[in-house]
Structures are given as structure tokens and as C-alpha cells.
Amino acid sequence: MGRPPGRSGAPVTTPRTSSQTSPRTRPRTTLWHPDLWRLGSGHPGTARTRPARSGRDLGLLLLRATIGVIMFGHGTQKLFGWFGGSGLDGVAASFDRAGFPASRLFAVVAGLTEALGGAGLVLGLLTPLAGAAILGVMINAMAVVWSGSLYGSGGIEYEVVLAMGGAALALTGPGRFSVDHHLPVLREHRLDVGLASIALGLVLAAVVLLIRG
């Protein structure tokens, strides 16, 4: 009679299943596994909730609102004399002293650029163009007030911050909390659009500086 399997002699071996994988072949979990940095996922493969949110959109909203409100206020000071501004007559006189021909026309252009660019940033509407508008007008402001130093009397640190903030927003886009985010054509911000807008702002700023001489 044959021997029952497993009683004596050579032991019967059974194939290993996937759940019996040797420790050497089991995947290792490290702190650098991307799934560990998601909310509710202590181990890869466990049930996950939504990914952790960053503060990017809120940060962009804060930056847009701050620069936009400041620039809108400056623009309406020039155009309408709001917020203690001198209005078009006073701005035109200062532009004339700064060497701008047709000083009243340039006062209107500067006021509209600041007011519309600022409003665009606050709303997040046509953000690359709004940011480029702030960049361009601040370049001209720097050319007028600069006395050779970045800081102190005649310094341009304030203008540099506003100009670079406008350029940065032209590159990053406005974030989710914006009008652009809800417009089909503008929802997906593209870097080339931001770069083109900045180039346009630089060219127009250079043209104004050439006209001023």
C-alpha cells in the first residue's frame, strides 16, 4: 500500500501564496513614500481621504488683494482725487515737472493703468495683463523717483516690491479664488501667457520712458 502523504519520508511542500511572501521580497515602506503624505493614509494601500491642501490659493488671494487695493487707490487718487489725492490737475503738474510731454494725457494713462490693473488683481480678472500693467507703471515710477539708492529718501524699494508682485502674479496666475478660474478660456493658466504679458508690460514701459526722454 502507498504511504499517506506527509506521514514519513520526504515532507510534502506546498507552493507559497502571495500572502506568504518572504520578508526579503515584501515591499518596504519608507518615510519618503508619497502615499504617506496624504491625509488618512498611514500606509500605502490603505483607504485614503483627499490630499492635504496647501495654502497656495489663499496666499495668492492675499497677495492679489493687497497689491490690487494699493494700486486701485493710487489710480483713483490720480483720476478723481479720492483718498486725499490731488486729482488730474495736481498729477499733471507733477508729471510736467518730471519731464513728461502732454502731462495731463500721461496722468490719465497712469491713473487708468493703476486703477484698472489694481481692480483686475483684486478680482482675479485677466490677471496676467493686470500684473503686467502694475509692473509697467512701477518701472516708470522708479525712473522718476530713483536717486541712485534702493533705500532711504529717493529709494525705490516700495516700487520694486509692487513691480515684482505684479510680475509674480502674471506668472503664477490668480489661483482658484478668482474670476479667471471660472472662465473657460482663462481657467487653465499658462506660463507662456504670463511671460508674454510681462514682455508687453516691459515694452510699453520702455516706450513711455523713451517718450519722456
Residue 68: which of 159, 165, 204, 136 has the closest Cα? 165
C-alpha pair distances (Å), 101 with each of 37, 93, 105, 139, 146:
59, 11, 9, 18, 20
pLDDT in tens, 164-178: 999 999 999 999 999
Spans of the chain, pLDDT less than 70? 1-53
The residue with cell 526722454 is 213
Q: Which three cell numbers stand for residue 161?
A: 516690491
Residue 185 confidence (pLDDT)? 82
Compute the mean pLDDT over every residue in the chain, rounded to the nearest whole number: 83
Which residue do the cell numbers 532711504 mark? 152
Q: What is the pLDDT of residue 26?
A: 52
pLDDT in tens, 58-69: 999 999 999 999
